[in-house]
Structure 1
Amino acid sequence: MKYSLQNIIIEIHNKEDKILSQSKRLIDEAYEMTLYLQDLLFSVKKHIADEGFKNDADEIHFFRTIKPQILGKLIYYNKIYRIETSCPVSNGKMYHSYFSIQLANLKREYIDHICNSDFYRYYRSGRTDRDNTYFKRGNINYHDGLNSIVFEIDPAFSTFFDYKLARIISNELLYTYLLTKISPDEDPDMILQKPESSKDIFWTDSKNALIELVYALYASSVISHGKIGIRKISLMFQILFGVPLGDLHHAFHRMKSRAGSRTAFLDQLKISLEEYMDKEL
């Protein structure tokens, strides 16, 4: 097939990086990514309609791994746009309350509609034994009492469960986004508090150095094969070190405009490792 998971992820990442480099408002970034992903999904749909699938394995791979990544991101950015354009203020208690409500709504949706479903447990367990049922077209069982969205999908371009998987991916991204919108200093119960097991682990360089490392790991797609976004990688490090990193977008934009080396921290890491290797000889 023309489309592979790796190519799709790289293409989306490149578009995200291009928009990010323009230092736009998050609202504008979300809107532009929504339009881009909508066009990408349309072009993929057209390719499938014209070319079809080579075999069942090809079809299953597409609806399990490729389409949900595109659709999941599309749902995610559209939701960000809706959240950001409805936000009543830019900071303060009302701002914190607004995003806390959004997070509570997301958690409620997870509890009510996702976590107890057979499909969610199937997906989380990494099973593949029912892929022929979930990710091949024409197998929708209406006796299961499925969500009414099933009547709106295009049966030639959906198995319904690819949509459910896209919603799971979208919700995971939204969870990370909402956590980073709420300052841990204002809410001591937030997940950004350091766990007891890592209380003695500290980041002793600058925040900019940590952001540089985060972006390097994201750009190289070395975590989860590049399937997770920059905000989630950032959140992992914020949790580990207990360091709020603030606005990643603007920090990255400043990095790109640095005088001298734009990767000063990574350059120093390389020098330090080589010096350590020399000592070991």
Structure 2
Amino acid sequence: MEIVLSKILSEIRHQEAKLSSQMVQTVDEAYQMTLFLNDMLCIIKAKVLQGNFINEQQEIDFFKNIKPQVLGKLIYYNKVFRIETTCPVSNGRLHQNYFENQLKVLKSEYKESISNEDFYRYYRAGRTDRDHKYFRLGQINYHDGLKSGVFEIDLSFSTYYDNKVAHIIANELLYTYLLTKINPDENPDTILINGDINKDITWTNSQNALIELIYALYASNSVAHGKIGIRKLALIFRILFRTPLNDIHHAFHRMKTRSGSRTAFLDQLKFSLEEYMDKDL
């Protein structure tokens, strides 16, 4: 059984780009993405239930990296749909207060349910030494005093901790979404004034490659003399290329400790540019 993360992310990006170009209302996009991701999750679940994982590492990779990306996005878009459909007005102070209160609720949930847990620190540190306990079926240790939500999940398709990773991903996406609602200066429509011009511009390399480029521009103060934050810079690239950039800080920390060159994409850029220059000689 093989479920490829890059293919899944590509399908999600394609659907997001398609809906963004067709629909004006955020609520419509959120609803359609919720349906799309729910169907995708059902298809993936059927594959998992039908076939066995080739080895332990494939199982860990699925529950640590693949399923949480789909479930995290599903949680995110469903939450956006609920937020948009219960918003009392379309603008004004009441509108501002509504989204500010939603951000407070999100931060409160983050403190109570995510950031204070040992698992969150484990995941954020990019550790792998307990992956065999956290991301394999049938490895749940009830002596850890897990929250009662563990009894509500399908244990044939969840290790419990994959759900936690999904909520971390959803939380970060919601945080960015709410900031764009609260701060007009960070609204996608004002960052890139004419979205129609950019709808055909897509990022065709890996997500890690784009994150590497963003951090390089940030570290070199190449954009706005370094006065723009990494989160806003990432948001601009996410909107420009219509591609999700999940958990950029975690991805960056993984780059710092990866084997071989830590700047693989930048090295490739240099090589490609020099090769292109040599063609004109």
What TM-score, normalized to structure 1?
0.71
Residue 119 (structure 1) aligns with: 119
CA distance 1:42–1:112, shift in 2 (3 Å) = same
> Aligned-pair distance for 1:208?
4.1
**Identity, % of aligned pairs?**
51
Provide, for residues 125-147 of structure 1, a one-character-per-residue CA deviation record: whole Å limited to 9, x for no partner: 00000000000011111122212
Q: Which amino acid in 2 is paired with 1:224?
A: N
Residue 67 (structure 1) aligns with: 67
1:9–1:226: 8 Å Cα contact kept in structure 2? Answer: no
Q: Which structure has the bigger radius of gyration?
A: 1
> Aligned-pair distance for 1:220?
2.8
CA distance 1:101–1:210, shift in 2 (3 Å) = same
> Aligned-pair distance for 1:183?
2.4
CA distance 1:31–1:210, shift in 2 (3 Å) = closer
CA distance 1:139–1:19, shift in 2 (3 Å) = same
Matching of residues 1-281 of structure 1 within 5 Å? 1-183=1-183, 207-208=192-193, 216=201, 219-224=203-208, 240=228
Q: For structure 1, which segment, 109-118 or 81-90, has the greater mean C-alpha deviation from structure 2 after superposition?
A: 109-118
Q: Which amino acid in 2 is paired with 1:21?
A: S
2:37–2:70: 8 Å Cα contact kept in structure 1? Answer: yes
> Aligned-pair distance for 1:212?
6.7
2:138–2:159: 8 Å Cα contact kept in structure 1? Answer: yes
Residue 270 (structure 1) aligns with: none
User: How far apart, CA to CA, are the structure 1 residues paired with 2:109 and 2:135?
Assistant: 23
User: How far apart, CA to CA, are the structure 1 residues paired with 2:114 and 2:197?
Assistant: 35
> Aligned-pair distance for 1:8?
0.7
CA distance 1:174–1:207, shift in 2 (3 Å) = closer
* 3-state SS in 2 of match to 1:240: coil
2:27–2:84: 8 Å Cα contact kept in structure 1? Answer: yes
User: How far apart, CA to CA, are the structure 1 residues paired with 2:35 and 2:9?
Assistant: 17
In structure 1, the gaps of 5 or more residues are 186-191, 193-205, 228-236, 253-272
1:102–1:178: 8 Å Cα contact kept in structure 2? Answer: yes
1:72–1:166: 8 Å Cα contact kept in structure 2? Answer: yes
Could you say what the CA RMSD is over the residues aligned between the two structures, in angstroms? 3.3
In structure 2, the gaps of 5 or more residues are 212-222, 243-272
2:21–2:196: 8 Å Cα contact kept in structure 1? Answer: no
> Aligned-pair distance for 1:224?
3.0
Provide, for residues 153-207 of structure 1, a one-character-per-residue CA deviation record: whole Å limited to 9, x for no partner: 111100000000000000000000000011257xxxxxx6xxxxxxxxxxxxx94
Aligned length: 225
1:67–1:162: 8 Å Cα contact kept in structure 2? Answer: yes
User: How far apart, CA to CA, are the structure 1 residues paired with 2:18 and 2:198?
Assistant: 19
CA distance 1:207–1:53, shift in 2 (3 Å) = closer
2:21–2:199: 8 Å Cα contact kept in structure 1? Answer: no
CA distance 1:210–1:57, shift in 2 (3 Å) = same
CA distance 1:16–1:87, shift in 2 (3 Å) = same
User: How far apart, CA to CA, are the structure 2 residues paired with 1:58 and 1:24?
Assistant: 40
Q: Which amino acid in 2 is paired with 1:58?
A: Q
